[in-house]
Structure 1
């Protein structure tokens, strides 16, 4: 409510104004009176005065002098001058002092009420501008953090997707929010990086992508926002524009953004444009965009609109991999890769490849490959347990490009090791070399087989075929030869000799040594060292 002060040396004029104006209608809660400038100043010192009705001609000090004092001490107070003289000099001074109006006596109460209402309107407007100015500074400093948190909470349903809940959340955070406002969300998703990046480098790149989106997509729209979601995903939120070419212009901006990111940030990415939504509908819209992103396994570096992306088939048509399995058995790995690639590319051209079909294809193809490798004696889990292979497998079903890369890597690696297996001599040589390097360790048949990516039974067969010995027999013979040399040529304790060739148990070493040489290690040392003398 507002407070008003009437300053006039004529008592009947003051009482006439007090009784003639409908103060309640104007929203004036308190009306004070003063008959001299001194009394008026005393009122100002004890009360907040919003509007002053002031007579110009008064004894001792006039209303113009009082207004100059009020402007200096209480600049928020608005003044309306009252006078009996239509003097241009007074009118000019009143305007210079910033008065709301200049009313001649006798005062028409209707005109006075209109003038007071004009003063009230100005007070309200000034108050709003002051609040906006004060908030504007706060907003300038904190806007990015506040707005980003607001949208993230909407997307994650920390704010319920209801108009009232969104309005209340905005009010609690001092965020100006218009329920009629509509926005367009755009989901940006990195599909792959063209070069190997550390986690730190990837974060730097994602920050660069965010800045580029602010510049190329938002541009001069100051109230647009780019929000970082989970790794590799950004969400652009733009206020909706009603003109007919808005969507075409926005799509063009996204296309330029994709081109720039490929050129400067070494990545493939796609943009998924949503429809116009109010704040309470943001959660549902972003979820739809996420679904589109997951379903897009066929296309890179494209702009999609929600209304354009439709799956046009209801059942998945997988190829007959039984034929490919036979081809793998006959070592036609490259031919299988060519046919599998052709199948996937055909599905892309027909627009009949989605995430589910890609997943089913990957599972069947992986199973077929592992069975083929098992039949060749290769342990797939070890052949593909290196970090590079694991990375290919982890991303295989994200897109057709990733799946094709995984298939090529898998087949190249299989061909490499199968070629090694066909040359059994090289496998045997690798086993022999490995045994010699690790002779002092507790080696098992499984350890040796793992080194050449074969199962132990298959390795034993090709090793015995080449050397005439089982791997365990060959390992013992090599250890026995080394033990004999150490016993003859060194003074190492027998327990140390046993440990050096992989026997932690001295008694077991002695028994095995005697079994194959007909004497214990000490006897063997004494006999052969004497013969050396």
Structure 2
């Protein structure tokens, strides 16, 4: 819905246009009137109309001046002149500053209607282009944020070469050697929730405020939010050149003060050392550990090197090697005994139990992620289970809740994901999916996620069991359908290529000739002429 501003020192012209227009036809909800350029500028600043019809020759401030004003505005309406002047100089000036049209008086209603339709079409095209750009940028931010979270959690391993390869596959602007400083901010949400804050709004506001004050940005791509039942934690990755330690500490102090004032939160901040991005999987868990040790120290800002705890106070840690061995051997008894041993130690030593449970939670998820990643199973598959998500949210509430989560995590992994990945039906499932979707632009990552395996693992297994790579198999199905369409329809070759999933007719012809030994046109002609034997022999050779 749009606003239309009509600016003319001739009141009868404005009346004529306003009375003649069918606002519903154009989607116009409000017509604004101005009788000179100065008033027009005021209305533009206050109402921000999408469409402007403006006379050129007016007292005090003429139409060209209004157009210049609009060209410098923060928004970009569509602008057309209404004038008695047919001067080339006026027309050139109008085009120079972005006027869409140039109508001469007396106003012809058909010309006016066409001009308005053109202005609206141009306006909508700009809006769609902007939405598309913003959508693409948002999608890119989500991909980057997802990658950084998975990198921190160790899903790409800790070797620089593997991390660099993962970045390359995603065409990220970052480099493995990019220098960053991690800043972790954590706050107990209990008091804020008791005072009426909505949980989702509180998380968003805490993340936004942290980004605005500490990172001095609001794009969220470089922030990772972890939300437990009680604590909200934001991990921010700051470019090292813009994150001098003393300045970051000052910003963190400012954040603590702002959170107290606006969010009823008392956060604790941990400022990490400068590292290279590929080192995040190594330092990330240690940052989490040190944060858990200090996160009850509300309102404090601590440096990474200051946040260590005397050895005697270190909470019991998960033996990742033993956990991985239990999962590999599918020894639930020993697994439960190991987790129970840690839980009992936490129960006996009441001091720092909250911190110890949080560390157990973090270490356990990391161990399972490592196992899944090593066995070519995408780790995100775990949290597709609703019960896992629910128990994960309450795991840090108590030792009992932590044990419940740990047992369910094991059961789900062993009885569902591993059996699914070990099943002989993986390739059958992939082939069925391809058979249904081969006309589409099939993405290897999507196919792999459906089979609960990693893309690299799927590629190797597919070639091993099918005898060709996935792209060759897809093209085989496409060419089979192309031959059917060439024989049974009069569709053009370009249409057939498009219908079966080829964006480029040249590439389609290349693939067709490679498989069949002849071009699509030759194949159709030979079939049409009845030379079936020769064609079939050619196909057999291909």
With normalisation by structure 2, the TM-score equals 0.39
With normalisation by structure 1, the TM-score equals 0.39
- Name which one, 1 or 2, has greater alpha-carbon Rg: 1
